[in-house]
Amino acid sequence: MKAFLVRIKDKPAQEITAERLSAREALQSLQVGGLDRVAAVRVNGVPCDLSCDLGNEATLEPIYVHTEEGLGILRHSTAHVMAMAVKELFPGIKVTIGPAIENGFYYDFDYERPLKEDDLPAIEEKMEEIVEADLPFTRQEMSSQEAIGFFSDQGETYKVELIQDLGAESVSLYSQGSFTDLCRGPHIPSTGMIKAFHLTHVAGAYWRGDENRPMLSRVYGVAFSDPKNLKKHLRQLEEAQKRNHVKLGPQLGLFNTYEEIGAGMIVWHPKGAMLRHVLETFEVQEHLKRGYELARGPQLLKTELWKKSGHFENYRENMYFTEVDEQSYGIKPMNCLAHMLIYRSEIRSYRDLPKRYFELGTVHRHERSGVLHGLFRVREFTQDDAHIICTPDQLNGEIKGVLDFVKDIMGFFDFEYDLEISTRPRKSIGSDQDWELATGALIRAMEDNRLEYDMNEGDGAFYGPKIDVKLKDALGRSWQCATIQCDFTLPDKFDLTYVDKDGERHRPVMIHRVILGAVERFIGVLIEHYAGAFPTWLAPVQAVVLTVTDRNIPFAQNVTKGLEDADVRVEGDFRNEKLGFKVREAQVQKIPYMVIIGDKECENNQVTPRLKNGQNLSPMPVKELIDRIKDECEQRR
RNA sequence: GCCAGCGUAGCUCAGAUGGCAGAGCAACUGAUUUGUAAUCAGUAGGUCGUCGGUUCGACUCCGUCCGCUGGCUCCA
């Protein structure tokens, strides 16, 4: 018999004498409630199975299945259940990896044919059986060599590869029923804890994300500790779908794509073009306020220049080329080159720096066809791009300035965002020293501004490291918007200089940066953020004048004219229809103000505004409405 | 690019197993003159994404191309 000293975190310890003691037994004797809802347990901070044996002293924290961490474990276990079901249904199929992910789980399989959506019901049915059977998850340790033998015998070559790559002495295996998987764990006690799950979709996925390796079948699913939560989740997905900019955009007359024009090319309809115009005007103002100068380069630049900059060498696959008068030209995928030449067109003094050139620059990039998506990934887009050329001493201050700019704009739109620093990619130019310097500058600026960030190794631009700002769409997918990139190489390649106090020429450094990122993508995020109901200052149509009857048309025309003259973006709906019909249409179009004109209004020379939330304002003179709208525009509400 | 799903009227969608292409909304015409989310009636509208094949016959089956959607390490 041994003595075990156990406690729940922050509670008094209890001594238990036993031959051996599992975490479950300890929790029982510590009288922890709701044990049937405990997915796993932290033992001295390490996540473990409930069945794990404790050492002689242990601080325990139960992980309940409804918590985020508990759900992750439940989902991971559900992935194992799915793998078991799939192996039973498709003999000879190979399992690979199956982690829990945000909002669900997946498992990748290799089979003689790709799995299809039609296969899912059968898999779900089989999973149901496994859950019903309430099979316990059991863990065993095995030496890597033994485990390799074990999986080789089953033909599970991917597992063998994983174990070899791990390079550990021993590995852990988890089994439920006849199914055994290589896994770190922990897992839920038994399959019966899975109260609700649903397989959502299948997709192809390369083994280890590498397109040179086999294409696997990935099955995605969700799992919950309570069927109610599954229903809730599915409802939320439906709600998110209503915000989908790919649907809303064309419905609201903002933009469309045309098969006959080409993939990844957006056509802006009048309302969308107006929205862009408002946003771009705002952008220009915000830049001018912050000491940027406007600049503008052409779409076509000689291929020779792209060779000089390194784009031809490093970015060619993403570029379009054409020939003009037997000269090769490249369509710009970035805006920097013209700005370099603008800088170089004069001798620059240290007194002139920093130079900040801003351009709403339209670029073309050849994105792979499969990644195109609505406004979020397109082949032609406009960046709110700027290049800051400064002395090395100014670099930190300039980066911090841009970070503040980003914070202002994102705060202005009420966006939450994540920050990421990306480091040197395999295909890149420049010396190690410059890369270190540049990466260090980014990290320092982040830390000076006390910002939290993730590291994304090897994902930088070919000419320098970058800070990325990521926003989430309605479905929780994150998209890069703002980015700040340090560049020591282009100033070198273009021999940019400034004359310093010492009278000598020195090399400036450069920052590439965008705030919104691509106007297209940003508008996509905006549409989803506002669910298409834009605030007054952004709304392409701010007001629609609605007549009750034909008698009211002359006055309504006056009102419309008055609003137009005051630069309100207004439309008139004088059709011979019932008011309810016209209100409905304006509502569906999410127009901020409906201006109702009936006999009463005509008599009193007033208008009755109806807000898109359904609220009626009391009748007022047109002037008052104009002031109200103007005020909202000024305050950008 | 690769894997899966999808493409029928301007929009949303029906159209078992191959046998003359349908509805609602929108559009147009007329009636109605309307007070806060759909007034009524009529008319018109389609090379079933493209091109090719199989077949007596293809929206339907096969192939090609075009386009759209989801996904392509959140690491056992």
To the nearest whole number, what is the mean pLDDT of chain A? 92
Provide mean pLDDT across the span A129-144: 94
User: A484-497: per-residue pLDDT in tens?
Assistant: 999 888 999 999 99
The reported pLDDT for the residue numbered A32 is 85
Q: Is A466 a catalytic residue?
A: yes
Residue of A187, A512, A513, A582 marked active site? A512
Per-residue confidence band for A49, with pLDDT thresholds at 50, 70 and 90: very high
Distance A259 CA to B64 C1' (A): 17
The reported pLDDT for the residue numbered A279 is 96
Q: Is A364 a catalytic residue?
A: no
Distance A204 CA to B18 C1' (A): 33
Distance A441 CA to B73 C1' (A): 29
Lowest mean pLDDT among A89-103, A136-150, A427-441, A610-624: A427-441
The nucleotide minimizing the C1' distance to residue A577's CA is B34
What are the distances in angstroms from CA A166 to CA A7, A162, A172, A227, A410?
34, 6, 12, 37, 41
Q: Taking 80 as the threshold, does the pLDDT of residue A475 lie above it?
A: no
The reported pLDDT for the residue numbered A462 is 86
Q: Taking 90 as the threshold, does the pLDDT of residue A327 lie above it?
A: yes
Distance A233 CA to B7 C1' (A): 29
The reported pLDDT for the residue numbered A596 is 96
Closest CA to A40 of A48, A52, A32: A48
What are the distances in angstroms from CA A107 to CA A183, A381, A564?
13, 35, 58
Distance A243 CA to B33 C1' (A): 37
Provide mean pLDDT across the span A278-304: 96
Closest CA to A427 of A564, A506, A344, A310: A310
Q: Is A336 a catalytic residue?
A: yes
Residue of A108, A181, A385, A468 marked active site? A385
Gap between the terminal Cα atoms of chain A: 72
The nucleotide minimizing the C1' distance to residue A578's CA is B34
Place of tokens 């990325």: A468
Domains and their CATH numbers in chain A: 2-64 (3.10.20.30), 69-239 (3.30.980.10), 263-298+333-530 (3.30.930.10), 543-634 (3.40.50.800)
Residue of A52, A183, A336, A602 marked active site? A336
List the nucleotides on chain B closer than 7 A to a protein CB. Answer: 1-5, 7, 31-39, 49, 66-76
Q: Does residue A161 sit in helix, strand or coil?
A: helix
User: A509-543: per-residue pLDDT in tens?
Assistant: 999 999 999 999 999 999 999 999 999 999 999 99
Helix (H) or strand (E) holding A569: none
Q: Is A241 a catalytic residue?
A: no
In a 10 Å sphere around its CB, with 0-12 CB exposed, 13-18 middle and 19+ buried, how is residue A328 labelled? Answer: middle
The nucleotide minimizing the C1' distance to residue A172's CA is B76
Residue of A183, A271, A383, A481 marked active site? A383
The reported pLDDT for the residue numbered A426 is 81
Distance A629 CA to B53 C1' (A): 63
Q: Taking 90 as the threshold, does the pLDDT of residue A307 lie above it?
A: yes
Q: How far apart are CA A361 and CA A387, in angstroms?
A: 12
Q: Taking 90 as the threshold, does the pLDDT of residue A433 lie above it?
A: no
Per-residue confidence band for A437, with pLDDT thresholds at 50, 70 and 90: confident
Q: Taking 80 as the threshold, does the pLDDT of residue A474 lie above it?
A: no
User: A338-388: per-residue pLDDT in tens?
Assistant: 999 999 999 999 999 999 999 999 999 999 999 999 999 999 999 999 999
Q: What angle do CA A541, A544, A549 make, to 5 degrees?
A: 160
The reported pLDDT for the residue numbered A2 is 82
Q: Taking 90 as the threshold, does the pLDDT of residue A211 lie above it?
A: no
Q: Taking 90 as the threshold, does the pLDDT of residue A191 lie above it?
A: yes
The residue lying closest to nucleotide B12, measuring its CA against C1', is A251
The nucleotide minimizing the C1' distance to residue A147's CA is B76
Q: How far apart are CA A532 and CA A588, in angstroms?
A: 10
The reported pLDDT for the residue numbered A610 is 96
The nucleotide minimizing the C1' distance to residue A116's CA is B4
Q: Using an 8 Å Cβ cutoff, are A633 and A567 in contact? A: no
Q: Using an 8 Å Cβ cutoff, are A466 and A484 in contact? A: yes
What are the distances in angstroms from CA A395 to CA A208, A431, A442, A521?
38, 18, 9, 28
The residue lying closest to nucleotide B74, measuring its CA against C1', is A101
- Tell me the torsion sign for CA atoms A562, A564, A570, A571: positive
Q: Taking 90 as the threshold, does the pLDDT of residue A478 lie above it?
A: no
Q: Taking 80 as the threshold, does the pLDDT of residue A262 lie above it?
A: yes
Q: What percent of chain A has pLDDT over 70?
A: 100
Residue of A233, A332, A365, A569 marked active site? A365
The reported pLDDT for the residue numbered A162 is 93
Q: Is A481 a catalytic residue?
A: no
Q: Using an 8 Å Cβ cutoff, are A470 and A355 in contact? A: no
Give the neighbor-by-neighbor strand order of the sheet with A418-422: A293-294, A355-364, A380-390, A509-518, A478-487, A466-472, A418-422, A454-456
Beta bridge partners of A483: A468, A514
The residue lying closest to nucleotide B31, measuring its CA against C1', is A576
What are the distances in angstroms from CA A412 to CA A8, A216, A404, A635?
45, 43, 12, 11
Helix (H) or strand (E) holding A326: none
A616's tokens:
């009626």
Query: CB-based contacts of A629: which residues, under 8 Å, 6+ apart?
Result: A536, A542, A543, A563, A566, A568, A593
The nucleotide minimizing the C1' distance to residue A552's CA is B33
Per-residue confidence band for A168, with pLDDT thresholds at 50, 70 and 90: confident
The nucleotide minimizing the C1' distance to residue A265's CA is B67
Distance A338 CA to B3 C1' (A): 41
The residue lying closest to nucleotide B36, measuring its CA against C1', is A580
Residue of A287, A356, A466, A470 marked active site? A466
Distance A281 CA to B10 C1' (A): 32
